Amino acid sequence: MSILIKNGRIITAADDYVADIFIQEEKITTIGKNLDVKADQVIDAKNKLVFPGGIDPHVHLDMPFMGTYSSDNYETGTRAALFGGTTMVIDFILQTQGKSLHDALKEWKGRSDGNAVGDYSFHMAVTDFNDTTKAEIKDMIEKEGITSFKTFMAYKGALMIDDRQMVGLMNEVKKRGGMVTTHATNGDMIDFLVAKNKSEGKFSPLYHYLSQPEITESEASGRFADMAYHTGVPAYIVHMTCEGALNHIRDAAKRNQKVFVETCIQYLVLDASLYDKGFESAKWVMSPPLREKKDQESLWAGIDQGSVQVVATDHCPFMWEQKKMGEKDFSKIPNGHPAIENRMELLFSHGVNKGRISLNKFVELTSTNAAKIFGMHPRKGCIAVGTDADLVIFDPNEKHMLSAKTHHMNCDYSGYEGWELTGKCKTILLRGKVAVDNNQLLVKKGYGQFIRRNKFS
């Protein structure tokens, strides 16, 4: 099977030019002007942008969490991702405290094997670091191709590890060539504030937000950066939301330390005023919570300065019935919101169209940087001869509206209902196959492959 994409404006992290792309089987084999080749299928991309397939390195599919499961599974989640231009996701395996990493991997493979429509990989969340876990790190990296280890500095009793475990894990991961990532918020401070608010009869979603003030995130971000500095492990902070946390990373840079930073699309375009809507605010109950306008400005500035490298989603959807588990108590609302399908189009409209980021920066943030940081580049995250033909053909002028009525995520509401965007993902290729065209899915469940990742270099 061969495909010729003609006359697209090819945008990578570095380049911007008009050319044809010739694809054979899964790979790009030629790029050039007016290619004179015979192809099984020709796609006219005149007046369209061609981006590398999006990579969302922070999603939670079919995840057991807060007494329920996130509502998108591997099939529905990766399918929705494809409609939104994301051809690959990295999901989180959660170790059960008291059990091994291998047990957790087996459980997650049971959910993912044969079910994904788009490509995927795993981060391994270490929730119980001990001698058994320590011995498994090498296997995860070398045998399984899972090179990033997630930690939680919050959610005590289920996911959180203490600083002693963190330093132990960092030492081992550094030795084996991996990376440690973290959910950086101070779990003990948050638990104290949750209990205090509830003891004062404050149970609405607003108190989810008020129980996680900025300091809970900035303190943990600084502490994590210090432990990473001490151990020398490559480090990455997920879903950063605020100025205080980013300033700790800016400080770390002054001692020549590099800590990678991910923010999520919602923290760039939504703010804490949404917590003023009674129980409807449960739609945006996530951790960390949405912040203030000044934090959005810091994150956009951090993107511009290069201190924030990735825009992910932390896609963790729940149906409204599931959110209602916390109708009488905000601390029981399952945390998370749906966004896997909306990330690229939202960032284009609110980043590129508003003049906040260039097209090249858009590609860095949505694809190339994640591919580089997580050991998949150049196979993923770029448009070049020899790379996987994962491509997004994008109409920068098409206007459309986001709505739960039309999205493909398995979630009965949208956090962006009625938002009007300019710029739409039209045709999506994944490993040389047209996966989505004209709002139709053309690949089947099972087409998505697990992608092994390289060590950190």
Q: According to CB under 6 A, which one of 124, 206, 316, 421 is a site residue for ligand URP?
A: 316
Interacting residue with ligand URP among 219, 314, 341, 390 (CB under 6 A): 314
According to DSSP, the β-strands at 2-11 and 49-52 are parallel
CB 117 → ligand URP: shortest distance, Å? Answer: 22
Q: What is residue 160's DSSP assignment?
A: B
Strands 49-52 and 391-401, sheet pairing:
antiparallel
DSSP states along 332-362:
GSPP-B--TTTHHHHHIIIIITTTSS-HHHH
Contact (Cβ atoms closer than 8 angstroms) between residue 182 and residue 192: no
Rule CB under 5 A: choose which of 183, 407, 424, 453 binds Zn ion: 183
The count of chain residues that interact with ligand URP, using the rule CB under 6 A, is 8
Q: Which stretch, 192-200, 243-251, 268-276, 314-322, contacts Zn ion (CB under 5 A)?
A: 314-322
Stretch that binds Zn ion, among 17-25, 112-120, 262-270, 306-314 (CB under 5 A): 306-314
**Helices and strands (DSSP H and E) totals, the chain:** 14, 19
Burial 352-384 (b: 16+ CB within 10 A, else e): beeebbebebbbbbbbbbbbbbbbbbbbbbbbe
C-beta separation of 451 from 121 below 8 A:
yes
Nearer to ligand URP, 336 or 423 (CB): 336
Nearer to ligand URP, 160 or 225 (CB): 160
Point out which span in 133-141, 175-183, 396-404, 420-428 binds Zn ion (CB under 5 A): 175-183
From 72, 136, 314, 364, residue interacting with Zn ion (rule: CB under 5 A): 314
Q: Which residue has the tokens 């280890």?
A: 149
Q: Which does 82 bind (CB under 5 to 8 A by kind): ligand URP, Zn ion, none?
A: none
For ligand URP, the binding residues in 269-298 under the rule CB under 6 A are 286-287
Cβ neighbours of 255 (radius 10 Å) = 8
Least spacing, CB of residue 306 vs ligand URP, in Å: 24
CB of 343 to Zn ion, least distance (A): 14
Query: Residues in the chain, how many?
Result: 457
Whole-number minimum distance, CB 338 to ligand URP, in Å?
A: 11
- CB of 93 vs Zn ion, minimal distance in Å: 12
* Residue 62 within binding range of ligand URP, rule CB under 6 A: no
Question: What residue 387 binds from ligand URP, Zn ion, none (CB within 5 to 8 A, per partner kind)?
Answer: none
335 binds, among Zn ion, ligand URP, none (CB under 5 to 8 A by kind): ligand URP
Angle at 320 between CA 316 and CA 321, to 5 degrees: 115
String marking each residue 333-352 x if it binds ligand URP according to CB under 6 A: --xx----------------
Residue 6, Cβ density class (10 Å: 0-12 exposed, 13-18 middle, ≥19 buried): middle
Counting contacts by CB under 6 A, is residue 183 touching ligand URP?
yes
Instruction: Compute the Cα dihedral for 282, 287, 292, 295 and give only its sign.
Output: negative
Residues that bind ligand URP (CB under 6 A): 60, 183, 286-287, 314, 316, 335-336
